[in-house]
Amino acid sequence: MLSVTILGNNSAIPAFERHPTSQVLQNNEQSFLIDCGEGTQMQMMRYKIKPSRINNIFISHLHGDHYFGLIGHLTSMGLLGRKNPITLYAPESLQAIIELQLKVADAHLPYPLHFHSLDNEGILYEDKSITVRCFKVYHRIPCWGFLFTEKRNPRRIDIDKVKEYDIPVSFYDSLQGGMDFLTADNRMIENELLTVEGVHAKSYAYCADTIYNEEIAERVKGADVLYHESTYLDDLHERAASRFHCTSREAARIAKKAGVKRLLLGHFSSKYEQLEAFLAEACPIFENTELAIEGTTFLV
Ligand SMILES: [Zn+2]
Ligand SMILES: [Zn+2]
């Protein structure tokens, strides 16, 4: 099961009880922190996210609204006696920033902190259950999107059928691997007869700060859930472009073009107190749109 909890959905500065950008993607194994704006630790406490489960942190770019909470999180983990390593996937300069912050405080983390700089598109992380890739988005400074894809589940054994055909338990692993079964009297029983399709592997695409660019639709094609920034409403589309941001309609156009199943809008400008207009503008273009409201957990 894959889910994402929104911890911060605002751009630039905190406003109207909204926090700068941060979210946590969780599967059964662990949690992945995506951006870490100011206030992220407090939001984790508020929404019962266990920081100890976070082994991998992905920072899209080095505007403060995406990482000013990071040093706090890293040092708190140290004060709480964490031993497990944390890997930080971020633009290269972040390593020097973090190391300087630790150095001037004469702080020493009791756990290994690994840096992985974002240089090229491709796979960043992989384990038996999930693959994480990064892709370029188009912002004023280098900025990255992230695509989380569950590993395809193997076919599931149909218990009634394996009993009916008297398949030995020792052959179950082979069945899940796709093999057909040869009986003692040389009859071939096809795999499809004994197994059912595994659960569809879900994917979540995180599209951080970016100007409207249809190349992004190619990179997130078919995702189950796309989070796309939507800093402004449509009347400010010129301002959005001049600041390398998007409007709600532009985010909806990307979702439609990419053929995703669901769109989450976030990274709202602090000039807006009410957010309903973002939905009103996006839904006529892409119906299955929701606001990435803080504290909400969306099942992918
Ligand atoms: Zn931002
Ligand atoms: Zn930015």
Question: Is the sign of the CA dihedral 278, 203, 220, 58 positive or negative?
Answer: positive
Does the pLDDT of residue 17 top 90, yes or no?
Answer: yes
Q: How far is the CA of 112 from the centre of ligand 2 (A)?
A: 28
Query: What ligand has the least distance to the C-alpha of 210?
Result: 2
Residue 153 pLDDT grade (very low, low, confident, very high; cuts 50, 70, 90)? confident
Query: What ligand has the least distance to the C-alpha of 243?
Result: 2
The Cα 77–Cα 85 span in angstroms is 10
List 65, 166, 180, 235, catalytic entry: 65
Q: How far is the CA of 60 from the centre of ligand 2 (A)?
A: 9
Share of the chain above pLDDT 90, in %: 92
Tell me the one-letter amino acid at 111. Answer: Y
- Cα atoms found within 13 Å of the Cα of residue 53, Cβ hemisphere only: 14
Q: How far is the CA of 180 from the centre of ligand 1 (A)?
A: 52
Query: What ligand has the least distance to the C-alpha of 211?
Result: 2
Mean of the pLDDT values across residues 10-18?
94
Q: Which two tokens stand for residue 4?
A: 């994402």
CA distances from 194 to 14, 46, 141, 190 (A): 55, 47, 53, 7
Query: What ligand has the least distance to the C-alpha of 63?
Result: 2
The Cα 27–Cα 5 span in angstroms is 11
Does the pLDDT of residue 152 top 80, yes or no?
Answer: no
pLDDT score of 199: 80
The more confident residue out of 175 and 104 is 104
Q: How far is the CA of 139 from the centre of ligand 1 (A)?
A: 10
Residue 184 pLDDT grade (very low, low, confident, very high; cuts 50, 70, 90)? confident
Q: How far is the CA of 199 from the centre of ligand 1 (A)?
A: 35
Say whether pTM exceeds 0.85: yes
Does the pLDDT of residue 25 top 80, yes or no?
Answer: yes
Residue 2 pLDDT grade (very low, low, confident, very high; cuts 50, 70, 90)? very high
Does the pLDDT of residue 277 top 90, yes or no?
Answer: yes
pLDDT score of 200: 85
Mean pLDDT of the chain: 96
Residues with a beta carbon under 5 angstroms from ion ligand 1: 11, 63, 65, 209
Scanning the structure block, which residue is given the tokens 């974002």?
Answer: 118
65 in catalytic set: yes
Q: Which two tokens stand for residue 202?
A: 């879900």
Does the pLDDT of residue 264 top 90, yes or no?
Answer: yes
Q: How far is the CA of 61 from the centre of ligand 2 (A)?
A: 7
